[in-house]
Amino acid sequence: MKLRLAVTLALPAFTLEADVDIDSSAIGLFGPSGSGKTTLLEIIAGIQAPDRARIAIDGREIAHLPARERRIGYVPQDDTLFPHMSVRGNVLYGAEALDAEVLKTLEIESLLDRTVAKLSGGERRRVAIARALLAKPALLLLDEPLSGLDNARASLIIEMLQRIETPILFVSHNRDEIAALCDATIVLDHGVTSYGDPRS
C-alpha cells in the first residue's frame, strides 16, 4: 500500500507536521507519549479536523471525505465497543455479513453471542479489530493494540495481525512490538515525522 500524508495541525504544545510517503503493508508509527500519534491517526480516520491535510492511499485522496466514506478502519486504544450491542452486533455494525475467515483468525467465533461487558481485555481488543476489518477498510489503524495485555495475549494478537491481508498502520511506543510486526517505521517526535528502521 502506498501511503502519502501531508498533514498540519496546530496543537497547544506543538504543531503536528506529518510528511510521509511510504510503500508498505505494515507500517509502524513510533514515538513517545504525547508526540501526536493518536491525533495523527484520528486525522487519517476523519475524526479530528486538521488545519491542512492531504491523505492519499494508493493514490486515492481521502482528506476531503467524511469519516464514513474514507474506508479507514480505526481501533482506538480503549476499543470503544458499543456497550448496548452483543459482540455480533458490534462486528456486524459496518458489515453486511460475517466473514468466517476474519472470525477464525481473531478467534472470536465463540464470543459472538456474548455481551460486551463480559469480555476480557484481550477479547475486547480482538472484537474491536474484527469489527474494523469486517467493514473492509483500505487501511487499518491500530492505536497501541497490545497495551494492557500480558505477553501471551500480546503475541497472540501479533500473530493474528501478521495473518490479515489489510494494510495496517500500527501505533506503539514500544520498538519491539513494531519490529515484530512492521516492515517500515515512521517516527513521530513532537509532531514532526521522520523515517525509522523498524529493526533499530
Binding site for another protein (CB under 8 A): 45-47, 66-74, 76, 78, 80, 82-84, 93-94, 131-132, 135
Supply the DSSP symbol for 143: E
Query: Taking the complex as a whole, how short is the minimal distance between the CB of residue 36 and another protein, in angstroms?
Result: 18
Residues 6+ apart with CB under 8 A from 54: 4, 5, 6, 7, 61, 63
Decide: helix, strand or coil at residue 2: strand
Q: Which is nearer to another protein, 94 or 179 (CB)?
A: 94
Cell numbers for 147, please give them: 497495551
Query: Taking the complex as a whole, how short is the minimal distance between the CB of residue 74 and another protein, in angstroms?
Result: 5
Query: Taking the complex as a whole, how short is the minimal distance between the CB of residue 48 and another protein, in angstroms?
Result: 9
What is the Cβ-side half-sphere exposure of residue 187, based on CA atoms within 13 angstroms?
Answer: 10
User: CA–CA distance from 200 to each of 20, 34, 74, 114, 178 (Å)?
Assistant: 19, 22, 27, 42, 10
Q: Which is nearer to another protein, 18 or 81 (CB)?
A: 81
Q: Which is nearer to another protein, 39 or 185 (CB)?
A: 39
Q: Which is nearer to another protein, 102 or 178 (CB)?
A: 102
CB atoms within 10 A of CB 23: 11
Query: What is the C-alpha radius of gyration for the chain, rounded to an integer number of angstroms?
Result: 16
Q: Which is nearer to another protein, 30 or 74 (CB)?
A: 74
Query: Taking the complex as a whole, how short is the minimal distance between the CB of residue 150 and another protein, in angstroms?
Result: 25
Query: Taking the complex as a whole, how short is the minimal distance between the CB of residue 198 and another protein, in angstroms?
Result: 26
- Rounded-to-integer distance, Cα 55 and Cα 3, Å: 8
Q: Which is nearer to another protein, 38 or 185 (CB)?
A: 38
Residue where the block lists cell 493514490: 59
Query: Taking the complex as a whole, how short is the minimal distance between the CB of residue 93 and another protein, in angstroms?
Result: 5
- Rounded-to-integer distance, Cα 148 and Cα 154, Å: 9
